[in-house]
Chains A and B, each alone.
Chain A
């Protein structure tokens, strides 16, 4: 089991909602609590998981992610609760 032993400065993490199409990021922390957080974590949005930002919807909300090999959409306001660390920049 890979538990991230990160020495990164937490200032390096940004909200997922600010990422651009094509970015690859790693989850640092999922904020929030209760049913909301439970749902996100059960869909695989856990610390250490890698995400590719596939695209934004035509109206810039919601956004489409690829995580654990499948596609997931999530509203931008909800994505603001997911703090991520950028790994590589997008193609756009």
Chain B
């Protein structure tokens, strides 16, 4: 028989149980990251080969429970029921058994075949914990294997147990039933009877599980049953719920949860022992410093500063190399190819677009290296703990802080960093307001315009823009919270895991994952849009081919003067009668109340690709074909075009607030899960930008400025 058996195993476990390290150990580099159908929860799959048998490994979202209260829980549960994995490998933190085994009780109830990996077994032993896991295994009816995920210890034994458990399926049923006590069992029986009365239901679900879920009034299960004629079942469930509620004087969910924890406590009482007296652990000592009243904030800001510097200053070097590489390739192409449409397409459209994609990569890799270290050490939860009070006053979660700060560097990696937020509501909110954090690409525009109009006060003007962005982010956040994201805020019930030393493997894998998601899922979109914008700027064709050289020079100039900047994907255009020029003329009436002329309109339009392109567009528009002495010419042109410092300020406010760049829009679409969110972000930013610029102009006039 040449057939290779192929099984599917699902990894389930609490957050912080080391599930990811086990996944990495099993699958090595054979991983792929996607999303669960239609939603934004990350799905990781991989392949493990053991003794010639291939296992497809699915990493379920880390959850504390399998009730239907969060998307992650519904996904994990549905996969176990509908996806019918051959086996569930349940990763359990051996040092935190009581809470971890709560999830186990729900897996038992689902009737799924399970093998437990008692992970971080060494850490538990270090704490003085003795686990009689053979005995515990018998009490729970589940095979158990001690593992140390990050060292790869116990993985072979684990897979041995997995293979054995798969072979044993069906041969003997060691199906254990979670005892709820006589009163509740009676009610479960009643509901089970009602279920069995209707044929077919029991095929897919265990009837006991269905009965328990109905007792808990599980919305998802009820919805699925409603498709069939199940009125009798639901009525019985209602009666039973009332009954239990009356008997225990507490809601049914709490009573059942209490019984499950009771079962766990009973099993542990017989099987674990603490050999040492519980004292302050090393982790506690570290925590006493890192979250102390006096040092908590200084240490936190130090880490934030370091993360920011690493990402955006260290990242600037490879960024400059990429910019130079693209410029050199462009020059080579120009030298080799005769002037033609094709050459323009390659040089300005494609190479410019590729550059526009690649420049973000170094920052993304470094930022996620940092975030991965913060998460794996356990500090990320402490950062949220420290910052939550501040963030909560503006309606956000403590974990929103890091993505928002990173937004000052670049919104693209910052929006990707919102993945650390568990609640979808918090995450969407943080994504939507992130573009209001003034990213570094906006700085050259500020410097140019403020430098031209405000002289020595330029610094204050620029600082005010940053503050305005923060203030509006808070305001917009409040508005969204009261309109789009009304309803129950998820409680801030967050585990503070022990401090741990991160492993190289998981950190690097995490970093590479983000990089490849960015390149694969977003790169192609950014590239195609860049080409479209190039087309709009290059057509209809002009008799005199312009500014390829200007374009190339400006790339180098930007890369050399301000290394934090991206390569610009500026379309080489001959101003007014290209499509972009025409659109600029068309939208001019909309922008005229703000005091912007068509040139400023065109500059803003091209700034949709990337903010610093506004500068190079102005270079072209204000007639400096020699970029070498361009600055002075641009400044002269700006002074002709912009009537007063007031309008210059309104222009800067507009630049601050409207869509930062194409890549951000595409990142929002990807991370929020749909074009509608991207459209919402673009829409509200444009409206906000217009209104604020208008307010600046009007208020300025009233005050007699301008």
Contacts and interface: CB of A to CB of B under 8 A. Distances in A.
B315 to A, nearest CB: 30
Nearest to A76: B389
Contacts of B497: 71
Interface of B: 64-65, 67, 69, 95-96, 98-99, 102, 250-251, 253-254, 257-259, 261-263, 265-266, 291-294, 296-297, 381, 385-386, 388-390, 392, 398, 488, 490-498
A42 B398 CA distance: 22
5 contacts: A1-B262, A37-B251, A41-B258, A58-B386, A62-B388
Given A34-B488, A60-B389, A74 B493 contact: yes
Given A33-B251, A78-B493, A1 B389 contact: no
A46 interface: yes
Contact of A46 (B64, B67, B257, B392): B257
A57 interface: yes
Interface of A: 1-2, 30, 33-44, 46-47, 55, 57-62, 64, 68-75, 78
Given A71-B498, A78-B491, 11 more contacts: A1-B259, A1-B262, A43-B64, A43-B495, A57-B386, A58-B291, A59-B386, A61-B392, A72-B493, A73-B492, A73-B493
Contacts of A75: 388, 392, 491-492
Nearest to B283: A71
Contacts of B495: 43, 70-73
Nearest to B258: A46
Given A1-B259, A46-B258, A69 B265 contact: no
A33 B245 CA distance: 13
A39 B490 contact: yes
Contacts of B488: 34-36
B64 A68 contact: no
Nearest to B384: A73
A39 B496 contact: no
Nearest to B288: A55
Nearest to A45: B493
Q: Quick one: which of A42, A55, A69, A72 has the most chain B CB within 10 A?
A: A42
Nearest to A68: B98
Contacts of A55: 291
Ranked nearest first, the 4 interchain pairs of A and B with the lowest CB-CB distance are: A1-B262, A59-B389, A71-B496, A58-B296
Nearest to B98: A68
Given A37-B251, A38-B67, A62-B389, A44 B491 contact: no
Contacts of B496: 64, 71-73
Contacts of B262: 1-2
B65 A42 contact: yes
Given A46-B254, A58-B293, A72-B494, A39 B69 contact: yes
A41 to B, nearest CB: 5
Given A33-B251, A35-B490, A78-B493, A42 B102 contact: yes
A57 B291 contact: yes
A43 B257 CA distance: 10
A60 B291 CA distance: 11
Nearest to A58: B296
A57 B389 contact: yes
A41 B392 contact: no
